[in-house]
Amino acid sequence: MRIELPANGWEPRRYQFRAWDYLQRGGRHAELVWHRRSGKDDLALHWAAVASFRRVGNYWHCLPKATQARKALWEAVNPHSGKRRINEAFPPEVQASVKDDEMRIRLPNGSTWQVIGSDNFDTLVGSPPVGITFSEWPLCNPAAWAYLRPIFAENNGWVLFNGTPRGRNHAWRTYQGALKEQESFAQILPVSETHVFTPEQLAKERRELINDYGEEYGQSLYEQEYDCSFEAANIGAILGRALVRAEAEGRISDDVVFDRDGAAIEISCDIGRRDATSVWFWQPCVGGFRIVDYDKDSGLDADEWCVRINERLGGRQLGRVWLPHDANAKTFSAKHTAAEIFMSRFGPQRVGITPDASKSDRINAARRVIGRCRFNRTLCERGLDGLAAWSYVYDEERKEFSKEPDHNWASHDGDGFSYGALIMEEREPVKEPEVIPIRGIGVGYPSVSLDELYKTAPKASGRI
């Protein structure tokens, strides 16, 4: 039996030809910032099917979360055809086997195609992929690509990023990077260039978004989803607008560095065993705080973090390491608490426990403090991505945001920063050093009188 790919008569839409042609000619890095309902995933699915028969290997389609991946792609049905979307790109005739629990299709030539989440990419076993699509890339965990990038450089694989903007986060940077690379493909396609919707349909969509989210958020969401604007506020973001202001005011810059003549460095953590841990390094200064460094990793225990933090300090004077209140909790699997381990390494006087505040109190502290913070752009880049993505989830049925932030890759960054914000709020502001004017007689008008000079002059002893 002969099967022609792309299957089921699929072919690129008019505005998709440039991207499809780039991939067909062996392109390895594509950035598709295309509006909602523009067929981003359809193109990616059919390209993966073609690529998997051109080169034997593993291919992944990555969405922000594994649970979302199953619903949005693996089980999704095309309303126009009534067929599952994956079966349209990979017809049953080319599926040698299917593992539903792993959302994986094996093809007759030995290639595999699998749907994954950016929250579980590091749990997959077997050979790494030679082709991957990051769907809704602005919402994905950027650590997934940071982990895979050197692998793709070695195996000469391809990566396709697609999605609509969510502020100037990691997706903005990969898009900007592609613009600077001659061999990459980067394209922004707002709805005004594709004519997928009529003006009447767009006007209705804008009205409905504003009705659901309110004037400000509804308009921002429309600009993100349909105008593909990186300038629009990220919907539900906790600190998004504050970070936009910080950028506009020049408070995010590589000029923000540790002052060795200033206060000691403070460290706030969201630390846990076998879970992602974020660490913020900050220094009190006149007018607020310098956020001078950041670190994040997963799978490390408290002992390993002690070593890593000490190395990261690089000889800078340490004030205290601030741990979350639950760092004193003991478990059956651990002989010592995290607090005890840190105290044994840095000394009891160098370790503090943040107040046992509610999450909403921590969030409010972060909102109040961030306006007085300046960030090192390069060293805090990943942390700033997390703060920009730290957000509430909108419930489409209840038409309201969640009471707590979404627990995803960004929540650790937000928690670590908010723990530090509690301590920052308790600190007395650093004052400008007092300048004592030098008074005396000089050129121009003297600042002392002759009577004042007479009083300070040495008195004669009367001896000859």
Segment 50-78 shows an average pLDDT of: 95
Contact 271, 302 (CB under 8 A): yes
Segment 378-384 shows an average pLDDT of: 95
Tally of CB atoms within 10 A around 241 = 15
State yes or no: pLDDT of 157 exceeds 80.
yes
Distance of CA 415 to the CA centre of its chain: 13
Distance of CA 93 to the CA centre of its chain: 40
CATH code of 14-190, in short, is: 3.40.50.300
Contact 312, 321 (CB under 8 A): no
pLDDT-based confidence at residue 427 (cuts at 50, 70, 90): confident
CATH domain 265-426 topology: Nucleotidyltransferase; domain 5 (3.30.420)
State yes or no: pLDDT of 457 exceeds 80.
no
State yes or no: pLDDT of 360 exceeds 90.
yes
Q: Write down the pLDDT at residue 464.
A: 47
Segment 69-80 shows an average pLDDT of: 92
Segment 193-198 shows an average pLDDT of: 95
Calpha distance 419→359 (Å, rounded): 9
Is residue 430 classed exposed, middle or buried when 0-12, 13-18 and 19+ CB atoms within 10 A define those classes? middle
Calpha distance 107→359 (Å, rounded): 48
Do 14-190 and 265-426 share a fold? no
Residues 432, 260, 294: CA angle, nearest 5 degrees: 105
Would you list the domain boundaries of the chain? 14-190, 199-234, 265-426
**pTM of this structure:** 0.83
3-class SS at 32? Answer: strand
Is residue 95 classed exposed, middle or buried when 0-12, 13-18 and 19+ CB atoms within 10 A define those classes? middle
Q: What is the chain's alpha carbon radius of gyration, rounded to the nearest angstrom?
A: 28
Segment 200-209 shows an average pLDDT of: 95
